[in-house]
């Protein structure tokens, strides 16, 4: 109600800011971020606006931090690590459980924040908050199961021990497409292991990061354990470099594009830092002749159009075997027409919100134009939506070819592009013909084929007869140029621990 009435007032600029403060009962003043347990402005006093992608309105102003604030945050975080690493696993589990409960208690307002700054539909934002909270829950449980080893010694008078120790300060750099869950997936694992962290959220979506900091404050997580450096895109390269090159930062955990991931990897070499990278994908979605077409369409709708096509595991190339190609395309077109409704994410029946910004729309347009020029057939959509310049029509293309941009790069928009293939070998060859290897999907009712194809696909994660596979228990991550390391699952902790070997001698 509050949201509706404030939006109706004429001065929408100020009102949206009021909405952001009110929906989360924020005590956080505009223009402040969270460093060493205090809400502070940038030293320069500069701020940058956070825009609602649906209408371009300013949602809030946040500090434009730079190297100075980054150094301050890292120093405080390093000091906090000295104490945090000595808390018991049970104590850390308790803090994380509190974070889980607080996030769930505030799920509606946190979801509003995601929709306001990221454009995602409210239903999907609520889903993200539940998903994000599940990492606090999962790692609160994992925190108490970080065991070392006692290894049989080849010497009678010595004992060999392996300890799993927290690695230290984690620099956490996250994207805009899951502004809550991409942070909680890292922070929960880091804190469980005994690490402390400095978070640098995306310029487009810093408010979700600030909201997490506020929950941490409420959960009585000690000052310095969680810090947030908000930066405009101008300051980002310098802040990123500082985190990578700082000797007090032990690990960089990054989720974002492959290009930026490679840069951070390179920058971290000077201090031989641990780096975990969750990068871009180019997911194939293969439908074999043996598939249940209706199930495949359901899966394609979910994996293609979630978050308006802006997830790293979104289907990018749909490969359909000859015999069922036309049936599949007809059914997918029908589902798109019947099920997708474009509009502002806050409206209840909308399924497809805006893209994050106009640059994102330009990329989608470029991909569609390129495909059409190279011989693709336009079945549905194809242009900017009448809702506004950040909205794109759900689009269906057939006759996708290997040389089209859609085949080579992530489109990151609501465009389903279908390619026809004849044999299983051909489908695997096409699916693997990219340097990306994050996720893939295929539909088949033939058990031998399921086994063969699952083994042959060069990806880190596979959905077999399933379009959505993310959960806290999943070992999330890619191969090839889609990343290094795993998040979530029991492997998520490994990114934040190091092995210490101790040989205890003189036991005669």
The minimum distance between CB 411 and ligand NAP, in angstroms, equals: 11
The minimum distance between CB 259 and ligand NAP, in angstroms, equals: 7
Q: Which is nearer to ligand NAP, 306 or 325 (CB)?
A: 306
Residues 487 and 476 sit within 8 Å (Cβ to Cβ): yes
| Span 468-507, contacts to ligand NAP by CB under 6 A | 478, 483
Angle formed by the axes of helices 447-456 and 424-431, to 10°? Answer: 30
Q: Which is nearer to ligand NAP, 344 or 410 (CB)?
A: 410
Structure tokens at 285: 């979605």
* Strand pairing report for 226-228 and 274-278: unpaired
Nearest to 119 by CA among 344, 341, 340: 344
Q: Which of 118, 127, 168, 240 binds ligand NAP (CB under 6 A)?
A: 240
Q: What is the CA radius of gyration of the chain?
A: 24
Stretch that binds ligand NAP, among 55-63, 140-148, 212-220, 232-240 (CB under 6 A): 232-240
Q: Which of 211, 291, 428, 438 binds ligand NAP (CB under 6 A)?
A: 438
Stretch that binds ligand NAP, among 177-185, 219-227, 401-409, 419-427 (CB under 6 A): 177-185
Q: Which of 132, 281, 284, 437 binds ligand NAP (CB under 6 A)?
A: 281
| Span 306-325, contacts to ligand NAP by CB under 6 A | 312
Stretch that binds ligand NAP, among 88-96, 122-130, 149-157, 229-237 (CB under 6 A): 229-237
Residues 363 and 369 sit within 8 Å (Cβ to Cβ): no
* Strand pairing report for 283-287 and 439-443: parallel
Examine the residue annotation and report whether 278 is marked as an active-site residue of this protein. yes
CA 27 to chain centroid:
27
How far, CA to CA in Å, does 255 sit from each of 109, 186, 483? 24, 9, 9
Rounded Cα gap, residues 391 and 107, in angstroms:
26
CA 242, 245, 251, 255 torsion-angle sign: positive
The minimum distance between CB 451 and ligand NAP, in angstroms, equals: 26
Binding mask 195-214 for ligand NAP (x = CB under 6 A): -----xxxxx----------
Rounded Cα gap, residues 246 and 216, in angstroms:
25
Indicate whether 132 belongs to the interface with ligand NAP (CB under 6 A): no
Q: Which of 124, 137, 142, 410 binds ligand NAP (CB under 6 A)?
A: 410
| Span 147-176, contacts to ligand NAP by CB under 6 A | 173-176
DSSP reduced 3-state for 384: strand
CA 119 to chain centroid:
15
Q: Which is nearer to ligand NAP, 175 or 467 (CB)?
A: 175
Rounded Cα gap, residues 189 and 128, in angstroms:
17
Q: Which of 71, 105, 155, 237 binds ligand NAP (CB under 6 A)?
A: 237
Nearest to 311 by CA among 303, 299, 321, 300: 303
Catalytic residue among 57, 124, 203, 278: 278
Q: Which of 70, 121, 134, 177 binds ligand NAP (CB under 6 A)?
A: 177
Q: Which is nearer to ligand NAP, 76 or 280 (CB)?
A: 280
The minimum distance between CB 40 and ligand NAP, in angstroms, equals: 19
The minimum distance between CB 358 and ligand NAP, in angstroms, equals: 14
Q: What is the DSSP string of 239-285?
A: HHHHHHH-TTEEEEEEES-HHHHHHHHHHHGGGT-EEEEE----EEE
The minimum distance between CB 27 and ligand NAP, in angstroms, equals: 25
In 249-270, which positions are buried (b, 16+ CB within 10 angstroms) versus exposed (e)?
Answer: bbbbbbbbebebbebbbebbee
**Which residues are at the interface with ligand NAP (CB under 6 A)?**
173-178, 182, 200-204, 231, 233, 236-237, 240, 255-257, 260, 263-264, 278-281, 312, 410, 438, 478, 483
Catalytically annotated residues: 278
């Amino acid at each position: 109600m509050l949201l509706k009435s404030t939006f109706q007032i004429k001065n929408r600029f100020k009102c949206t800011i009021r909405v952001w403060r009110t929906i989360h009962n924020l005590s956080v003043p505009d223009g402040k971020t969270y460093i060493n347990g205090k809400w502070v402005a940038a030293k320069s006093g500069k701020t940058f606006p956070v825009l609602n992608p649906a209408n371009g309105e300013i949602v809030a102003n946040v500090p434009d931090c730079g190297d100075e604030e980054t150094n301050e945050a890292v120093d405080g975080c390093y000091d906090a690590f000295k104490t945090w690493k000595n808390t018991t696993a049970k104590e850390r589990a308790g803090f994380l459980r509190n974070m889980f409960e607080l996030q769930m208690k505030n799920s509606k307002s946190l979801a509003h924040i995601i929709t306001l700054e990221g454009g995602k539909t409210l239903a999907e934002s609520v889903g993200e908050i539940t998903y994000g909270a599940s990492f606090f829950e999962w790692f609160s449980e994992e925190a108490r199961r970080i065991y070392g080893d006692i290894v049989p010694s080849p010497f009678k008078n010595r004992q060999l021990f392996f300890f799993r120790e927290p690695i230290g300060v984690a620099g956490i750099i996250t994207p805009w497409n899951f502004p809550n869950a991409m942070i909680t997936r890292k922070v929960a694992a880091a804190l469980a292991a005994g690490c402390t962290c400095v978070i640098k959220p995306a310029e487009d979506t810093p408010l979700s990061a600030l909201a997490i900091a506020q929950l941490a404050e409420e959960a009585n997580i000690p000052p310095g354990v969680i810090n947030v450096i908000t930066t405009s895109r101008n300051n980002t390269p310098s802040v990123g470099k500082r985190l990578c090159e700082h000797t007090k930062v032990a690990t960089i955990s990054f989720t974002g594009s492959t290009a930026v991931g490679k840069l951070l990897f390179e920058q971290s070499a000077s201090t031989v830092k641990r780096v975990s990278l969750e990068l871009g994908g180019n997911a194939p979605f293969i439908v074999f002749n043996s598939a249940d077409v209706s199930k495949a369409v359901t899966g394609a709708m979910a994996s293609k159009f979630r978050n308006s096509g802006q997830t790293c595991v979104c289907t990018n190339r749909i490969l359909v075997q000859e015999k069922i190609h036309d049936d599949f395309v007809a059914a997918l077109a029908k589902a798109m027409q019947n099920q997708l409704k474009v509009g502002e994410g806050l409206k209840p029946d909308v399924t497809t919100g805006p893209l994050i910004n106009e640059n994102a729309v330009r990329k989608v347009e470029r991909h569609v134009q390129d495909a059409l020029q190279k011989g693709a057939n336009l079945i549905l959509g194809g242009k900017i939506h009448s809702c506004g310049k950040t909205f794109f029509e759900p689009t269906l293309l057939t006759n996708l070819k290997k040389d089209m941009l859609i085949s080579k790069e992530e489109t990151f928009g609501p465009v389903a592009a279908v390619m026809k293939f004849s044999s299983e070998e051909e489908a695997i060859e096409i699916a693997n013909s990219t340097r990306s290897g994050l996720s893939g999907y295929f539909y088949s009712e033939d058990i031998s084929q399921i086994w063969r194809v699952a083994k042959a696909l060069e990806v880190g994660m596979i959905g077999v007869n399933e379009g959505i596979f993310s959960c806290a228990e999943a070992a999330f991550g890619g191969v090839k140029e889609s990343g290094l390391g795993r998040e979530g699952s029991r492997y998520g902790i490994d990114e934040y621990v190091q092995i210490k070997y101790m040989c205890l001698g003189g036991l005669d």
